[in-house]
Chains A and B, each alone.
Chain A
Amino acid sequence: MEVLAGLAYGFGIALQPMNLLWCLLGCVLGTLVGIMPGLGPAAAIAMLMPISFNMDPTGGIIMLAGIYYGAKYGGSTTSILLNIPGEASSVASCIDGYQMAKRGRAGAALGIAAIASFVAGTFGVVLLTLVAPPIARFALSFSSPEYFALLSLGLALVVLFAGESPIKAALAMLLGLWFTSIGIDLFSAQARFTFGQTALLNGIDFMIVAIGVFAVAEVLGSVQARTDAQLLSVPRGIRNLLPNWEELKACRFALVNGSITGFLVGVLPGAGSSISSFIAYAFEKLFSKHPERFGQGAPEGLAAPEAANNADTSGALVPMLTLGLPGGGTTAILLSALVLWGLKPGPMLMQDSPNVFWGLVASMYIGNLMLLLLNLPLVPLFAQALRIPAYVLFPMILGISVVGVFGVAQSIFHVGLLAGFGLLGYAMARLGFPGAPLILGFVLGDGMERALRQSLQMSGGDLGILVSRPIAAGLLVAAVLVLIMPLVGRFNRWRLRGIAENG
């Protein structure tokens, strides 16, 4: 009842005309920020913070949060249309989203992304409303050994991205693990694999690897294949630009899976939204009746990660609003905005400033609805963009990629790195190495190494800490199961063949 009263109070605030306007402004800006690779929500919010100081804190946080979750809606657009992830959290959306676009279902893919974002975004806010304090306590029971086990499970799921050759997938993953270890090592404060380059001391930004291996490599491959004037076919008629019933039906479970996975992983301060979308994608494939369709343009392979990265935003707000602990870069900036307004984020925020807390939560219901209404009509418009002929489109993709990387790193050295990763991605594609395991290794490897070494620092070097804690042990068992599952399948086929031959 307390929750309902709070929510009603919140809607009273969020529905005030000025706050509605701030919410809309935030959502529009967020969508734009999401579409542009290289301009992330963190940077956009930081740039707008000085302007928002003169605003009332409730309106201000409503607008800034709108940018945060709005960016997740926009992020899928370039993933689907151009194979360029607009945000780190949309990388998993490239895999099946772009394949759908290639098959002439770009409009359907954009529509599914918008719908999945809406469903999961709303689901996440409902959970945020109902269970924020207990789930924050659950998140605190996770520490390094649990993170190590969770990330091991994530890495084990790489077998699902393997494609035809598990060996090639494993090699690609190892490459990703190596790249992620470049830079200053947190534990020894020493540089690794930097070859005397100051620019490498901070490691390589994830966006550079993802844009290089996906977008640049794709353009190089298409140019070599002498793709005709038009890269992707766009069917005529508005009807064909929207998802059809079969496609929506295929996404049912993906929406549930993505919503729950995204929220739970989002709550953990120390995971991150790229991880939740990858894990949701892998779960979807793991439990699918048609795993072979993944990577070929399966709608559920797009819906799961898109749902996950939106549910994740509400999840990440849980520790921020209940404990003052931001789970990632963007929530950290939202938190500093609250501080600069003179509010005190922490366990007392809900009591001290109920207008901000409940106003924000209620505005997120409204914002998600606004984003759906904003994004769906844009679908046909964006889909038309693919009618651009290749001799315009390819330079455009390369241009966006270069600008995006320069925006992230602000150095020409990193643009050079982008070219390097583009060539690497191209070579890998030519030799039949899948790109996704490399990205997965890159995303998960860093946190996994850290979690392992933290666990050992905690236990004084005793590996037993990884199996003596129940959550960690459970997750590790799940990881082992995932790893041996394909072997069981193979053994089973071999056994059946044996029976058939003998019988």
Chain B
Amino acid sequence: MKRRGFLVGAAALTVLSGVGPAEAQYTPSRPIDLVVHSGPGAGPDAFGRALIAAIEAEKISPVRIQINHKIGGGGATAASYIIEKKGDTNTIGLFTSAWIANPLVQADMKATVKEMTPVVRLVIEPAVFAVRADSPYKSMQEIVDAAKKDPTKIKQSGGSPLARDAIVRHVLMSNTGARWAFVSFPTGSERIAALLGGHVDMMIIEPSEAGELIRGGQMRALAQVSDKRLSTFPNTPTLREAGFNVPNVPQARGFVAPPDTPREVIAFYEQLFEKLVKSPTWQKYLTDNQFEDAFLKSEETGKFFDQYSDLMRGILTGAGIRVVR
């Protein structure tokens, strides 16, 4: 398989640009399987489909790319599948931060990104702290002050205790000494409904979800969970700008390959995604969905995995959640 790929790759040498002469060539000879951990229509699946559509529109892949759903276990099924596919150069997995964070807490999740071969990191999803439009709180500081005065007063709607919104809450609470309640809802629309109905006081929400509700006069943004201000929220400060000296908790998406995938195969994927990232179709998709372009190649992606696990391990331990690895 590998040798055949090598030969085809040599033939395709002229097609690919920007390859160092020392690196051997690889081009897949059959369709690439893109493994996602969600069912059709849910977040990772929608992201994968948009990505394939962009790659096809830009004609940058020599072979077809198809989605392969490995649903279940909050990513565990897909992750174990990638580990099983050791030696297969036509399979890559779309990872999200959950692939890194969940195995830290769940003993049953035996497949970790540490064993896989990092390919690229593509995007970071920023987020904003939002309140109802008629909320009395005008800034993050006012909410934190209110929570300090009365720990039973402020409530935040969010996802699982491992989700980014819960993690950011822990970071902020330990930084400020304030306490507030966290109410878990499985879907984004239930979290928003709880906020709009006045049952909770705030939430952390993706800008693409919040944009229309803010424009429609239902919601206000108080602060951004990102390193720099988003172009769509030029007047909303980041947490650091608002005076909270807390680490940013990035929510990332990108790709991993099965364990011990050869360097030349990874190089092929790196180039494929690098071309994608530079294409106007992809840039438009990022703008429309308010993703932050956060392209990293294989080596840096591996380092990102380590940094992110360490950051999460520290925060989770501090929050009193049992960490198993």
On whether the beta carbons of A201 and B152 are closer than 8 Å, the reply is: no
Closest to A191 in B: B108
The answer for the CA separation of A45 and B46 in the assembled complex, in Å, is 12
Per-residue CB contact flags for chain A residues 387-411 toward chain B (1 = under 8 Å, else 0) read 0000000000000000000000111
* Most B CB within 10 A of own CB, among A191, A326, A342: A191
Nearest-Cβ distance from residue B243 to partner chain A, whole angstroms: 28
Nearest-Cβ distance from residue A188 to partner chain B, whole angstroms: 7
Nearest-Cβ distance from residue B152 to partner chain A, whole angstroms: 5
Segment touching B, from A134-142, A242-250, A355-363? A134-142
Given the contacts A198-B109, A326-B189, A346-B212, A336 and B76 also touching, CB distance less than 8 Å: no
Nearest-Cβ distance from residue B156 to partner chain A, whole angstroms: 10
Closest to A450 in B: B186
Interface residue? B183 (CB, 8 A): yes
On whether the beta carbons of B183 and A454 are closer than 8 Å, the reply is: yes
On whether the beta carbons of B185 and A454 are closer than 8 Å, the reply is: yes
The answer for the CA separation of A46 and B215 in the assembled complex, in Å, is 28
Closest to B190 in A: A270
Nearest-Cβ distance from residue A316 to partner chain B, whole angstroms: 11
On whether the beta carbons of B41 and A333 are closer than 8 Å, the reply is: yes
Segment touching B, from A258-266, A298-306, A317-325? A317-325
The answer for the CA separation of A254 and B183 in the assembled complex, in Å, is 38
On whether the beta carbons of A194 and B183 are closer than 8 Å, the reply is: no
Interface residue? A225 (CB, 8 A): no
Q: B106 to chain A: which residues have CB within 8 Å?
A: 184, 189-191, 201
* Most A CB within 10 A of own CB, among B49, B110, B162: B49
On whether the beta carbons of B39 and A189 are closer than 8 Å, the reply is: no
Interface residue? B80 (CB, 8 A): yes
On whether the beta carbons of B39 and A319 are closer than 8 Å, the reply is: no
Given the contacts A46-B40, A342-B288, A450-B186, A410 and B212 also touching, CB distance less than 8 Å: no
A325-345 with Cβ < 8 A to chain B: 325-327, 329, 332-333, 336, 339-340, 342, 344-345
On whether the beta carbons of B40 and A198 are closer than 8 Å, the reply is: no
Per-residue CB contact flags for chain B residues 193-205 toward chain A (1 = under 8 Å, else 0) read 1101111100000
Interface residue? A460 (CB, 8 A): yes
* Most A CB within 10 A of own CB, among B74, B182, B186, B189: B189
Segment touching A, from B64-72, B86-94, B253-261, B302-310? B64-72
Task: Name the contact of B39 in the complex, choosing from A43, A142, A191, A460 (C-beta under 8 A).
Answer: A43
The answer for the CA separation of A339 and B287 in the assembled complex, in Å, is 13
On whether the beta carbons of B212 and A345 are closer than 8 Å, the reply is: yes
Nearest-Cβ distance from residue B159 to partner chain A, whole angstroms: 8
Q: B186 to chain A: which residues have CB within 8 Å?
A: 186, 450
Nearest-Cβ distance from residue B158 to partner chain A, whole angstroms: 10
Nearest-Cβ distance from residue A288 to partner chain B, whole angstroms: 34
The answer for the CA separation of A270 and B183 in the assembled complex, in Å, is 15
Nearest-Cβ distance from residue A390 to partner chain B, whole angstroms: 35
The answer for the CA separation of A201 and B160 in the assembled complex, in Å, is 14
The answer for the CA separation of A270 and B70 in the assembled complex, in Å, is 25
On whether the beta carbons of B199 and A347 are closer than 8 Å, the reply is: no
Task: Name the contact of B189 in the complex, choosing from A53, A201, A332, A344 (C-beta under 8 A).
Answer: A332
Task: Name the contact of B161 in the complex, choosing from A47, A188, A270, A326 (C-beta under 8 A).
Answer: A188
Interface residue? B184 (CB, 8 A): yes
Could you show 23 A-B contacts with beta carbons less than 8 Å apart?
Answer: A49-B41, A140-B198, A142-B197, A184-B74, A184-B106, A187-B161, A191-B108, A198-B76, A198-B110, A199-B77, A201-B106, A324-B209, A327-B189, A332-B189, A336-B41, A339-B208, A339-B288, A344-B212, A346-B213, A348-B215, A410-B71, A411-B77, A458-B183
